[in-house]
Structure 1
């Protein structure tokens, strides 16, 4: 299992998440996006329809009749009711349930960097987890730092 830590510095989540979701879906994968706050989930739902004028990223909020059909599902918990093997934790909170996926994207900012460091350290002793830390430069380019 792979965990990618994304420290949001130069670009906000609203610019980074849609691109990650596009790559997952473009590779025939599925994604669960996890945020504990209902208002954040509603905002992400709007974002995924409107992040570019020509964008189309099929998705839904969890709890509907057709969750299993959705390539991208926005949820309060890291549960793959759409069969996803990828999970994006977007509220800066690490959840151990993410370890049940093949790949986790853990997004955090300066306000939640302490919790991200604790998660990085906790996962460090696990042989079944590959950790990668992604950092942005001033131009917004992502580079793997660890």
Structure 2
């Protein structure tokens, strides 16, 4: 299991998340996006339809239809409803339930740096967990720092 920590400093979530979501879907995999903030889920729902003028990312809000059919599912809590093996935690809050997935993308901003560091340290002692920390350069590109 792999956990990728993305510290959002130069690129906001609304630019970073669609890129990763597109790569997951393009690979044939499914993604669960989790935020405990309803307004953030509503904003992300809109974003995934419009992030590019020539395409969209197929998705739905949990409970809006048949969740099992959704390549990307937006939810307020961790669920296996769409059989995703990838999960994105986008509200800055770490959830140990993410360890049930093959790959976790943990996005956080400066206001969540302390809990992200705590999660990083706690995961260091877990068997079978590979941690990677991604930081942004001055030009906004991502580079693996740990």
TM-score with structure 1 setting the length: 0.98
Q: Aligned-residue CA RMSD in angstroms? A: 0.7
**Relative to structure 2, which stretch is displaced further, 51-60 or 17-26?**
51-60
Say whether residues 1:88 and 2:51 are aligned partners: no
Distance 1:41 1:98 in 2: 18
Q: Equivalent residue of 2:138, what SS?
A: coil
- Partners of 1:11 and 1:141 lie apart in 2 by 8
Q: Deviations over 1:29-77 (max 9, x none)?
A: 0000000011110000001001121122100000133100000000001
Corresponding residue number in structure 2 for 1:108: 108
In the alignment, structure 1 residue 67 sits paired with structure 2 residue 67: yes
Give 1:117-136 correspondences, 5 Å limit.
117-136=117-136
Deviations 1:107-135 (A, max 9, x none): 00111111100000010101210000000
Q: What do residues 84-121 of structure 1 show as CA deviations (whole Å, max 9, x unaligned)?
A: 00000000000000000000000001111111000000
Matched residue pairs, number? 146
Q: Normalising by structure 2, report the TM-score.
A: 0.98
Gap runs ≥5 in structure 2: none
Give the whole-Å Cα distance in 1 for the aligned partners of 2:65 and 2:92.
28
Structure 1 residue ranges without an equivalent (≥5): none
User: Deviation at 1:80?
Assistant: 2.0
Matches within 5 A, 1:1-146: 1-146=1-146
Q: Secondary structure at the match of 1:10?
A: coil
CA distance in 2, matches of 1:94, 1:140: 24
Secondary structure of 1:60's aligned partner: strand
